[in-house]
Chains A and B, each alone.
Chain A
Amino acid sequence: MDRRRLRDFDMGLLAAALALVAVGIVMVYSATRGAADASLSGLAQRQAVFAVLGLAALVGALFVPQDTLEILAPLLYGLAMALLVAVLFVGVGKMGERRWLDLGVLRFQPSELAKYAMILLLARWLARKKTKLERATHLVVPIVITLIPFGLVLREPDLGTSLMFPLILLPMLYWAGARPVVILLLLAPALSVVLAFHLVVWLVFLGALACLLYLSRVLLTDKVVVFTASVVAGRVSPLLWAHLEEYQRHRVLAFLSPEKYRFSTGYQLIQSKIAIGSGSAFGKGFLQGTQKNYAFLPEQHTDFIFSVLGEEFGFLGCAVVLALYLYLVLRMLRLAAQARNRFAGLVIVGIASMLFVQSAVNVGVTLGMSPVTGMPLPLLSYGGTSLLVTLGAIGVVLGMGIRRMEY
């Protein structure tokens, strides 16, 4: 790598990512220190080891040419889907879920790989010159690319991760040139599924949609397709609800009225809010969190690591961490804007979206703004594979950033 390229290296982005990893190790240490469960001790050291391995992955990813990634995309996607199918048959997990492949030395979560594979294949498809995104029918291929992993992950079942796929798709479509109204129309059936739980609200929504469709410059057939899809989606909504796993239904119900489920699924939400709220402006101090120390906080080193941060470092600590994430995402979007290679731009947007959605949803859960999804906070939550893969992805972004002037 020559001197000019080194100058193009985004040091700020790397620094923000490494700062978050460091905060993560510190918080994992706090969350697992003195835990009654002996298996939790030493997790901070393991996280540190994975951080070093992740850093190696990051450096490695810097050197992978973007052309290679573009060529490999379909292969990678095929492999990821095959693994997702495999996990449904030979996967392991707790409480009847099948999420991991047991490789003997370590457990591997194919859905993590599937997210990147989908981003690469989508980017490859959307980067093609002849790809048009003017009509709803033009979206069929991207939707199919998204729905396959979405459906397979939903079968595991892992509702939280499965929702990531469509949430990554939307910004990438926008980046690729889809008009906002088209994206909005794409969202309409999904919104319809949620709103159909309340008849009046749903009818108002359908009315608003009809008005929007009437006013928008969209082909009549598209209007009909979107409206029909929304009506159908709304009608089958109760069926989808019935098909959810018991615990998933409870998570949604507990989100809507946590007090009613305070001793079951609502417990986590309530305790997390108490932990964060009681941290006040400056927190209770490092290692001093009572919610954490006395085990009121569930999953405190994984999904609820942000609650530990909130309790021990207060608003100040949380704001700093949120600012780091914001910086990371905004910085990536800036790199995407500068990237002359369409594929590279789309990949960066996809990865940025994934990081953003995952961190926003995780923090939203801990703050009681979203139902519990069981999603880790990227870079902070304990989890070797996740840290390794995320740092690798950041390496890809940094590498594409160095080459952003290349077509």
Chain B
Amino acid sequence: MARVTEHQSGTDTRARRARHLQLAVLLLFVLITGRLGWLQLARGDFYSDLSRENYVQGFPVLAPRGVIKDRNGEVLADSRASLSITLSKTRSRDDEGMADALAGLLEIDRSLVIEKLREARSRYFGSVVLVADATFEQVARVEERRFELPGVKVEVTATRRYPAGEFAMHALGYVGQISGSEVETMGALGYSSGDVVGKAGAEKRYELQVRGWDGGEYWVCDASGRELYPWSGGAVVEARPGNTLVLAIDAPAQRAAEEALTLHGSGAVVALDPRTGETLVLASRPAPDPNLLSYGLSAREWNALSRSPRHPLFNRALQAMYPPGSVFKVVTAAAGLATGTITTSSPRVTCPGSFRLGTRTFRCWKPEGHGTLDLIPAIVQSCDTYFYTLGVRLGVATLMNWAERSGLGIRTGIDVGGEARGNVPTPEWYDKRYGKGRWSRGVVVNLAIGQGEILMTPIQVACLVSAIVNDGVAHRPHVLKQVESPSGRVLGTARTAVSYELPYSDATLRTVREAMVGAVEGPYATGWRARIPGMRVGGKTGTAQNPHGEDHAWFAAFAPAEDPKIVVAVLVENAGGGGAIAAPIARDVMRAYFRLDVPVEAPGPPEPAVEESD
């Protein structure tokens, strides 16, 4: 009996304990099943998305940037296929080992690899470029060890190419990797880190036109980042190449200008169509090769370039300010006529070779003097004494007022940036600079012949002459002519807009033009070297005094005189007289523009002419 009871109680105890343990097991299984239900039933869609994001990766299909052509269809910039070594979002768990392997394989800086690996990881879409424009050796080495390098790929990309090197560089600009600050400002337009954008010139100004629209495609990738096959669930977005920019630049004229400038060292040439403002030539020398700038220079190369004493990055056509020298005499003359201070025939001024104001003597460029002359011969022969006299009669305030009204001291508004304003020194300007009443009224003597504190850029000179030959209307200069679709359909044409209007009567403008034609075509013409057989040319020489060395040579010209189709402003640094150096350059540019053969030897003066050296 005792045995039975003992047995019974043992069974009860075991059963109770078994129930307890079973309950504990059941509870834990319920807990696990609950968790399973939460992950699979409640959050199933969320994890399905995560799973898809794991194995489906989007890759951008890069669109080439639009072609840039000159007005005749000559290609100035296009794209070429190049190979890049890229990193896509990788799941390699050994960054250090990867960095070691890649740095050794590609012979690049290890810290750069680490930085790029980090960048790749932070991106959800696409890849980051580790080596742009990779060499054949680099590509071969990566391909050989492809399976050990998850996420590393060789991609064909379009790289900007400027077939003619530095040709028209300051008009075209160049491209480069988008900077951090640019990503911030342009992010809303769909730009992101790693994109290539225009950094200067037309490339920058017309970035949105010329950029391509990247497409995208989705691939199924494994955990190592290897693409297995295209994903069927996602649409492929075709890449759309950028639009074609047709520039107003006339390549033959531009080439003539650049060749001449290169011969003389440094300077600028701007040529405009006065009827529209189309910029036919925008040349500045020296200039860097935009191909090199676009591939990305090293810090050392960039420093060497930006600190070069020849300042190749400096766009002299728009940014360099010089005293205009005798070119300014046309403004002084127009102001004299407009105010009634002079007429074409009076006063007649006698030039003994110098001009005396108070105790100071101002010399004419021709020491023996020009004799007695009125306005037109004074412009033609560029007589300083005549303009000293006129300047004193006008006074600083009046002369500079008319200079301002002639569009000087303001930007022309050309569509490639970085333009300088120039300087028109008014009495207020002198007061500010030297203190009220602490400057001599005699400054006007120098200002009247374009020396001293008055400063102009080559584009301003071209614009001023354009207005003079275009019935007083200056059109805003622009390098863009039209935008075309990649297939050649015209999408838009650059608008002709008025920049400013000269405040002179038709008669005054006619007189100035006549005098300028005389300055090239007439007897005693200072600009005779700009003559073109069979075409009447107008122009004005100038020499800007340079306290640091040789004078800068100026020449502004237009042709044909009866119906000007081109205006050219030439500035050659440290070259001496404008007539001798700058005028032949203007002539060559015009000849190139009109497709006239450039003679090997410049023809001699058919009539008595003079050398200007003011």
Contact = CB atoms under 8 A, between A and B. Distances in A.
Interface of A: 171, 174-175, 177, 263-264, 267, 271, 273-281, 290-291, 294-296, 310, 314-315, 318-319, 322, 325-326, 329-330, 333-334, 336-340, 345, 349, 356, 360, 363-364, 367, 369
A280 B40 contact: yes
A295 B150 CA distance: 13
Nearest to B18: A337
Query: Most chain-A CB neighbours within 10 Å: which of B18, B29, B55?
Result: B18
Interface stretch (B222-230, B330-338, B343-351, B579-587): B222-230
A376 B35 CA distance: 20
A394 to B, nearest CB: 17
28 contacts: A175-B14, A271-B54, A273-B47, A276-B36, A277-B40, A277-B44, A277-B48, A277-B51, A278-B47, A280-B45, A280-B47, A281-B44, A291-B51, A294-B55, A296-B54, A315-B40, A318-B40, A319-B33, A319-B36, A333-B25, A337-B18, A338-B14, A339-B14, A349-B21, A356-B25, A360-B29, A360-B32, A369-B32
A39 B18 CA distance: 44
Contacts of A339: 14
A23 B224 CA distance: 29
B360 interface: no
B136 interface: no
A277 to B, nearest CB: 3
Contacts of A294: 54-55, 220-223, 228
Interface in B189-247: 220-224, 228
A119 to B, nearest CB: 15
Nearest to A279: B40
Interface in B1-41: 7, 10-11, 13-15, 17-18, 20-22, 25-26, 28-29, 32-33, 35-37, 39-41
B22 A367 contact: no
A278 B25 contact: no
A326 B29 contact: yes
Contacts of B29: 322, 325-326, 360
A142 to B, nearest CB: 16
B51 A314 contact: no
B35 A278 contact: no
Contacts of A276: 36, 39-40, 47
A362 to B, nearest CB: 10
B48 A336 contact: no
Given A294-B228, A326-B26, A360-B32, A280 B48 contact: yes
Nearest to B43: A277
B356 interface: no
Contacts of B228: 294
A315 B36 contact: yes
B93 interface: yes
A369 B28 CA distance: 12
A369 B35 contact: yes
Most interface-central of B22, B46, B93 (chain A CB within 10 A): B22
Contacts of A319: 33, 36
A274 B40 CA distance: 9
Contacts of A360: 28-29, 32
A297 to B, nearest CB: 8
Contacts of B21: 171, 174-175, 333, 349
Nearest to A339: B14
Q: Is the interface of A mostly helix, strand, loop or mixed?
A: helix
Task: Specify which of B32, B39, B48 lies most central, judged by the most chain A CB atoms within 10 Å of its CB.
Answer: B39
Contact of B25 (A263, A329, A338): A329
A304 B10 CA distance: 42
Interface string B410-441: 00000000000000000000000000000000
Nearest to B24: A171
Contacts of B39: 273, 276-277, 310, 367
Contacts of A338: 14
Interface of B, secondary structure class, is helix
7 closest A-B pairs by CB: A277-B47, A280-B44, A337-B18, A278-B51, A294-B222, A315-B40, A295-B223
A278 B29 CA distance: 21
Contacts of B490: none
A290 B26 contact: no
B22 A330 contact: yes
B223 A322 contact: no
Nearest to B228: A294
A171 B28 CA distance: 14
Contact of B51 (A290, A326, A330, A363): A290
A59 to B, nearest CB: 27
Given A177-B13, A356-B25, 8 more contacts: A174-B17, A280-B47, A319-B33, A322-B36, A333-B21, A333-B22, A333-B25, A349-B21
A336 B582 CA distance: 112
B122 to A, nearest CB: 12
B54 A274 contact: yes
Nearest to A363: B32
Contacts of B108: none
Contacts of A264: 93
A279 B48 CA distance: 7
Contacts of A349: 21
Contacts of A330: 22, 25-26
A277 B20 CA distance: 32
Contact of B40 (A171, A281, A322, A356): A281
A322 B26 CA distance: 11
Contacts of A345: 14
Nearest to B40: A315
A120 to B, nearest CB: 19
B41 A290 contact: no
B25 A274 contact: no
Nearest to B36: A318
Contacts of A337: 11, 14-15, 17-18
B146 interface: no
Nearest to B44: A280
B50 interface: yes
Contacts of A274: 47, 50-51, 54
B123 to A, nearest CB: 14
Given A294-B223, A296-B55, A333-B22, A277 B33 contact: no
A296 B91 CA distance: 9
A275 B22 contact: no
B55 A290 contact: yes
B259 to A, nearest CB: 58
A229 B572 CA distance: 95
A207 B32 CA distance: 30
A276 B39 CA distance: 7
B181 to A, nearest CB: 30
Interface string B53-80: 0110000000000000000000000000
A310 B40 CA distance: 8
A355 to B, nearest CB: 10
A312 B406 CA distance: 82
A296 B545 CA distance: 75
Contacts of B93: 263-264, 267
A43 to B, nearest CB: 19
A279 B222 CA distance: 18
B224 A295 contact: yes
B1 to A, nearest CB: 17
A407 to B, nearest CB: 9
A352 B222 CA distance: 40
A367 B35 CA distance: 7
B40 A263 contact: no
Given A273-B47, A274-B54, A295-B223, A326 B18 contact: no
